[in-house]
Amino acid sequence: MHPNPAFRPNPSSDDRSLFSALIAEAGFGMVFLTTPDGPRVAHVPLLLTEAGTLRFHLALGNALTRHLDGARALAVVNGPDGYISARWYSDPDQVPTWNYLALEMEGPVRRMDRDGLHALLEDVSAHHEARVTEGTPWTMDKMARIKRDRMMDMIVGFELAIEAWRPTVKLSQNKPAEERARLIEGLKSGGKLALAALMEGLAA
């Protein structure tokens, strides 16, 4: 899809808060790189730091691992999305479309040392363990050290310094308020509650 400029906000501080929340909530995305073997993508857990960098780890044998250090890569995180039926409009001269929230981040990548990798793994597990409601949070020190070190030998940590943010926030902003309200109800009826909530928040 080729977004209307209205769907490409200039990332202000308020927008950055939205995008930071998207990364924290999704916790997962894609890292793209053109390698000597052709274009490749890795699907990875992502963690945004307070310094505004994006950290992630890959298996040692991943197709990107040996090419990322020093390269310029693209990371993508997707938010809620959904089909918008033309039947929901009062205007018959409308066509179906797709509403979605997506964030592209581009910048140079560096390979982290072992201490950095260890800190990344601790931070990622702590972030997600906090969402598990039952039981005692898992931590890395619960593993036997020899087993933990052996597993760490099989992965590599990376940090992407975000130099360009390219968000797409396509939530029917170009439609009248009464039409957006009809679309929100249509999404709710189909169970697309997260997307409907985003559209409601945009109108608030």
Which domains, ranges and CATH numbers included, belong to the chain? 5-173 (2.30.110.10)
Q: How confident is the model over 58-74, as pLDDT tens digits? A: 999 999 999 999 999 99
Asked whether residue 14 carries a pLDDT value surpassing 80, the answer given is no
Q: Crossing angle for the helix pair 145-152 and 114-129, nearest 10 degrees?
A: 110
The pLDDT score that the predictor gives to residue 8 is 77
Q: Rounded to two decimals, what is the model's pTM? A: 0.89
Contact 23, 46 (CB under 8 A): yes
The pLDDT score that the predictor gives to residue 201 is 86
Other CB atoms within 10 Å distance of the CB of residue 52: 14
Q: How confident is the model over 153-173, as pLDDT tens digits? A: 999 999 999 999 998 999 999
Q: Is 150 helix (H, G, I), strand (E, B) or coil?
A: helix
Give the residue-averaged pLDDT of 68-81: 96
Q: How confident is the model over 99-135, as pLDDT tens digits? A: 999 999 999 999 999 999 999 999 999 999 998 988 8
Count of residues in the chain:
204
Phi then psi for residue 177, to 5 deg, are -55, -40
